[in-house]
Chain A
Amino acid sequence: MIAALELSRVSVRRGGRKLFSGLSLSLAAGEACALTGANGAGKTSLLRAVAGLVPVEEGEIGFGGVEAGEARAGGLHLVGHADGLKPARTVREELEFWSVWSGGTAASAGEAARSLELDPLLDLEVRRLSAGQRRRLALARLLAAPRPLWLLDEPLSPLDARWRLGFGEMMRAHLAGGGLILAAVHDPLPIAAKTLEIAS
């Protein structure tokens, strides 16, 4: 169980260009952080570095004493622009697969679908979903297989006003259960959160 996220003077280089350096952050259980910065500043790269998908040039990323490999294998969710959903598969097939793959079950996928009001869409192909519905499907994976650390890349952008509030409730419930959230955003998060700005 990840109880903290610690970034210590982290630097990331992509495509021969140093995106940022000396970035530090300490996030305890129950806390959220909004990651801000201009387009191309490196917000997505930082999320991917925390997930272990992008190498860190300098500095360290810690998970409150949990070994990094273990934390990344079963302790975090990454929801980004590339959601990994297959257009030709149905909402049910995709949600159940990703639930099982992430450590949940088909039953927990059904509960997540109900929470995000996706149950009327379960037999639709993913290609038929609107951008907002598709984002709700991607977010449903957070509930289908609970993991303590949520790494969110612009989670609110395609959601309408009602679902922005709804996702705010989801995030509050996650934090109340001891979870942590690091979210790259342009719009303010609908919850109390620290802010970490990446200067370009």
Chain B
Amino acid sequence: MSRPRSRLGALLARETVLAWGRGGGPLVSVGFYAGVATLLPLAIGPEPSRLAAIAPGAAWVALALASLLSLDRLFERDFEDGALDHLTLSPVPLELTCAAKCAGQWLATGAPLALAAPVAAIGLGAPLSLAPLILACALIGGLAFAFTGGIGAALSLGARRGGLLTAVIVLPLFVPPVIFGGGALAAFAGGLPWASGFALLCAYAAAAVALGPLAMAAACRNALS
């Protein structure tokens, strides 16, 4: 008899592989940031001083938008192909199942994007000293994006144009981490105290990880019934 921990480990491994296949992985994140780093100078002008000033914020917003790319399919495919039925018929609480799915999404999509974020920002002219904070903000912010995004994905289950609905639900939930993370980066770049913004980002991510799965599980049960 397998124990709940081994079940969750198996689910996390499976979800990571599936999320990788539906739009995650390092190549996607590198491609996404390559697009941002190429198009941004074309759109706002190539002056290094101007690019350097907006580089951390641009990388941060790009992370938020990239997190949306495959979110709508987080639960949708399992809902359509019956996997969600089978995942529900288990001693593992559905809340933990939802958390494992979001963690898999973050490992496959959020973490590679976070690793690429400092590279893109420095490529646009951000100072090298900012790289560790960009990485930390992107890793923690990515966790918040995955777990709040999961709420939108679960609430839009079974809806027509679920992707649009997910974006509409999720964007307001993305605003606080974008403000906290962007504020911490701007403060650091300006030589101002930045820890409070970073702490608020961590607190938001912790709340999303703790509370998000409760909302996702309730939404999944509602969709299944």
Q: Which residues of A are in contact with B by a Cβ distance under 8 Å? A: 48, 51-55, 72-74, 76-78, 80-86, 88-89, 93, 96-105
Contact = CB atoms under 8 A, between A and B. Distances in A.
A54 B6 CA distance: 28
Contacts of B86: 78, 84, 98, 101-102
B224 interface: yes
Interface in B80-126: 80-92
A58 to B, nearest CB: 16
Nearest to B6: A100
Contact of A55 (B80, B91, B92, B225): B225
Contact of A82 (B80, B90, B92): B80
B10 A74 contact: no
Given A84-B86, A93-B14, 16 more contacts: A74-B90, A77-B89, A82-B82, A83-B81, A83-B82, A84-B84, A84-B87, A85-B83, A88-B21, A97-B14, A100-B7, A101-B2, A101-B86, A102-B89, A102-B90, A104-B1
11 contacts: A74-B90, A74-B91, A78-B85, A82-B85, A84-B78, A84-B86, A85-B81, A89-B14, A89-B18, A100-B7, A101-B90
Interface residues of B, number: 26
Q: For the complex, would chain B's binding face be called helix, strand, loop or mixed by DSSP majority? A: helix
B87 A101 contact: yes
Interface of B: 1-2, 6-7, 10-11, 14, 17-18, 21, 78, 80-92, 224-225
Contacts of B10: 96-97, 100-101
A84 B81 contact: yes
A197 B64 CA distance: 53
B91 A84 contact: no
B32 to A, nearest CB: 22
A101 B86 CA distance: 9
A83 B87 CA distance: 11
Given A100-B7, A103-B2, A51 B89 contact: yes
